[in-house]
Amino acid sequence: MPKVSVIIPTFNRKTLLVKTLESIFRQSLPPYEIIVVDDHSNDGTLRFLEDTYAQRVVAITNRGKGPGAARNTGLAAASGDYIKFFDSDDVMTSNTLQLQSDVLGKSKKKFVYSPYFFATEENGVWIPTDNVILNYFPFGSKPLWHYMMIDGLFITIPGMLFKKDFLDQVGPWREDVVAYEDWDYLFRMSLLEANPMHTNDCAFLYRVHDSQTTGTHFSDKQRDYDKVVVLKDLYEKRIKNGPGISNYEKAFFLNKFYQIGGVAHGPSETDTLRYRNSFKQNLIWQFLRLRLKLGRMRTHTNWQPCHGPLVSREIVENYITLAVE
């Protein structure tokens, strides 16, 4: 039996967490262990877990603060051969652990990823927001994944299953930021496994609600600042002088600063303006904006082709049925 450790960081989500755990308890392949890392909640999450799920869930306190530290804390406690990082407000189809571990176990790849879609829950009923399924199709092998990330690709980590020894290679999550730590982690993963496995026979429901982040104990301005810190570090360390990375790709990456430049503060504001004040950079950005618009026209969604979108009410409903029954 594959040994899958599910790691769930949480902060003040005692109520939402119940649905998440129920979807994991329903798995056709029972998890080897479920580790919930409480990020110093003040709503009684830890006591609730100990009282309600003492025999089924390992509840521990984050040794640091923030989602990166919580995942590092959970990973240090995990003893499974496979790792599933999952969020404390989402749910997964009941075949997820079985299917992903089977696919990954038969391959030489380091991890597998699957689709997701956005949905809300009202009185126990899941309602998809737009019937768009992301990552339904794989992103492809050309160009390589880390180049596609520079070009805008993002794959959600809750949709993945990892081999534990691969995460040892990737190294720890960043703990000095509370946003965009997943982008940094994904980019480092992409340098080690450029073409992971993919299956669309399972999925997870990305729950849309009022408290969307793992930790709500930081401001929007702090979140924007953290994004700039992460992107600047990746640019300076991995992209600026990276082998085979074209000026075109560098230009697209730098324009990520533009997206948050109007609200970034502190030292990041200077960096943002410095990168923006380039005539050549602006010309390239105008071309890229047109390219992005054409990409959305191709998919008939707000997503680029690299995100593998599919619009299908029928498949969405099938996923929902697999998640709740």
As a whole number of Å, the CA-based R_g of the chain is: 20
The domain ranges of the chain are 4-216+310-324, 222-306
For 72-138, the three-class secondary structure string (H helix, E strand, C coil) is HHHHHHCCCCEEEECCCCCEECCCHHHHHHHHHHCCCCCEEECCEEEEEEECCEEEECCCEEECCCC
| pLDDT at residue 97, rounded to an integer | 98
What's the average model confidence in pLDDT over 286-308? 87
Domain 4-216+310-324 is in which class? Answer: alpha beta
> Considering only CA atoms, which of 190, 112, 180 is closest in space to residue 149?
190
Distance of CA 89 to the CA centre of its chain: 13
Q: Is the dihedral of CA 143, 147, 150, 154 positive or negative?
A: positive
H helices, E strands: number in the chain: 13, 13
Task: Give the DSSP H or E segment for 160.
Answer: strand 160-163
The per-residue pLDDT for range 245-293, each reduced to its tens digit, is 777 777 777 766 555 544 444 444 445 445 455 566 667 667 777 888 8
Q: Which segment of 142-146, 271-275, 299-303 scores lowest on mean pLDDT?
A: 271-275
The per-residue pLDDT for range 39-60, each reduced to its tens digit, is 999 999 999 999 999 989 999 9
> Considering only CA atoms, which of 257, 249, 214 is closest in space to residue 233?
257
Pairing state of beta strands 125-128 and 310-311? unpaired
